[in-house]
Amino acid sequence: MREVYLDHAATTPPFPEVLKIIQESYTNLYGNASSLHSAGQKARQALEKAREEIAKTIGAEPEEIFFTSGGTESDNLALFGTESFYPLQPVITSIIEHEAVLETVNALASKGHPARFLPVNNEGIVDLKALKALLVEKPYVVSVMLANNEIGTIQPLREIAALAHEKGALVHTDAVQALGKIAVNVQELGVDMLSASAHKFYGPKGIGFFYLRKDVKALPLFQGGGHERGLRSGTENVPDAIAMALALKISTRLFTRTHYRYERWTAQILKKCEEIGDFRLNGHPKQRVPGLLSLSFKYINGEALMELLDMNGIAVSTASACQSHSAKRGYSHVIKSLGIDETYANGTIRVSMGVENTQEEIDFFCEILKKSVKQLRNYRNDQ
């Protein structure tokens, strides 16, 4: 059976160059980057080069980049790391954030920081009027993701940052679904903190980075040997940091080519959905991450559709991969926030394309998608 992987929003297969450099690094850069001997300093030099490359890509300074285990740790570091400097001040986020932010905000609320949640419109765009109203409470941080992981909508982060800074609030963005897919520059966005995860842009799992503007104070989440300039203790993961820098470099370089292909394939998939009928595209129609589609089909079950596609060798998802661990059933909090009728919302799948996909695979997906939706609707009508 052929395998068609269309769940790149969950994770991406590492580039061959990334796998190669990981192996080379474990072979040649085995020294502890904190050791003073030559093997350790060789590893340190490679680590700092990776830091410089990442910083350059996002418009930051090397000393503003901290290596972490991934997006979740970086989100926690942004919100928990800064809260001690702003006793009991509110925290603002959106209702469609990833659980890594939502659960952290809920934990902050239990410590006495009032939690404020921004609504979104039916395309997933944050309500700026609501933000202005909440900023009167003088929050210490506003955390809004750059691109949504389920519907792909890109937020007006520059406007959000400008409004927040007027009231003296810090601005954090979870850029996990954006980095490697669209151009990201922290200076242009005006953010104070940013979270990223390598496995979303064809790098290894278990490593990410945290951008912290150099004039912003933060405390570490846990204590140890004071690595990463005291903010993130633990022996540095040199091979994966090097691999992450390379993955980001390659994925950024591929923007133009992949965006053109994704635009063409998106049009093809949407045309097929129109043939199927009774469907809707979730999120903003244009202000979205290229290649990520949230599709809702009327009168079917999204999980059943996902399973039928999987039986034909096609991998898609119904929502965030992280949300699949939840005991809650039904469609996601993101889809609920859009105000979609349940007859559509229950039949939602997420399709996310990647650099290794081919035209043949998209053709096959369109063919099986149409057959699968028809099969599910016929089954429903027979009941």
Q: Is there a contact between 182 and 200 (Cβ–Cβ < 8 Å)? A: no
Alpha carbon of 50 to those of 31, 233, 240, 241: distances in Å?
Answer: 16, 18, 10, 6
Q: pLDDT tens digit string along 294-350?
A: 999 999 999 999 999 999 999 999 975 455 544 455 679 999 999 999 999 999 999
Indicate if the pLDDT at residue 89 is higher than 70. Answer: yes
Reading the block at residue 77, the tokens are 């570091």
Indicate if the pLDDT at residue 220 is higher than 50. Answer: yes
Average pLDDT estimate for 199-218: 97
Distance CA 160, CA 158 (A): 5
Give this prediction's pTM. Answer: 0.95
Average pLDDT estimate for 31-55: 94
pLDDT of residue 383: 59
**42-61-66 Cα angle (round to 5):** 60
pLDDT of residue 321: 47
Using pLDDT thresholds of 50, 70 and 90, give the confidence band for residue 382. low
Side chain identity, residue 202: Y
Average pLDDT estimate for 150-169: 98
Residue whose tokens read 């039986």: 311
pLDDT of residue 379: 74
Indicate if the pLDDT at residue 365 is higher than 90. Answer: yes
Write out the chain in H/E/C secondary structure. CCCEECECCCCCCCCHHHHHHHHHHHHHCCCCCCCCCHHHHHHHHHHHHHHHHHHHHHCCCHHHEEEECCHHHHHHHHHHHHHCCCCCCCEEEECCCCHHHHHHHHHHHHCCCCEEEECECCCCCECHHHHHHHHHHCCCEEECCCECCCCCEECCHHHHHHHHHHCCCEEEEECCCCECCECCCHHHHCCCEEEEEHHHHCCCCCCEEEEECCCCCCCCCCCCCCCHHHCCCCCCCHHHHHHHHHHHHHHHHCHHHHHHHHHHHHHHHHHHHHHHCCEEEECCCCCECCCEEEEEECCCCHHHHHHHHHHCCEECECCCCHHHHCCCCCCCHHHHHCCCCHHHHCCEEEEECCCCCCHHHHHHHHHHHHHHHHHHHHHHHHC
Distance CA 325, CA 307 (A): 17
Distance CA 207, CA 36 (A): 24
Q: Is there a contact between 350 and 253 (Cβ–Cβ < 8 Å)? A: no
Average pLDDT estimate for 97-126: 97
pLDDT of residue 226: 87
Distance CA 105, CA 121 (A): 21
Sheet holding 292-297: strands in order across?
279-282, 292-297, 348-352
Provide the greatest CA pair distance for the chain: 74
Average pLDDT estimate for 146-156: 98
Distance of CA 368 to the CA centre of its chain: 28
Q: Which residues 6+ apart lie within 8 Å of 260 measured at CB?
A: none
Domains of the chain: 4-12+255-382 (3.90.1150.10), 16-252 (3.40.640.10)
Q: pLDDT tens digit string along 60-80?
A: 999 999 999 999 999 999 999
Alpha carbon of 226 to those of 75, 221, 348, 358: distances in Å?
Answer: 20, 11, 45, 46
pLDDT of residue 325: 46
Catalytic positions, please? 322
Q: Which residues 6+ apart lie within 8 Å of 206 measured at CB?
A: 69, 70, 199, 237, 240
Distance of CA 142 to the CA centre of its chain: 17
* CB atoms inside a 10 Å sphere around CB 303: 19
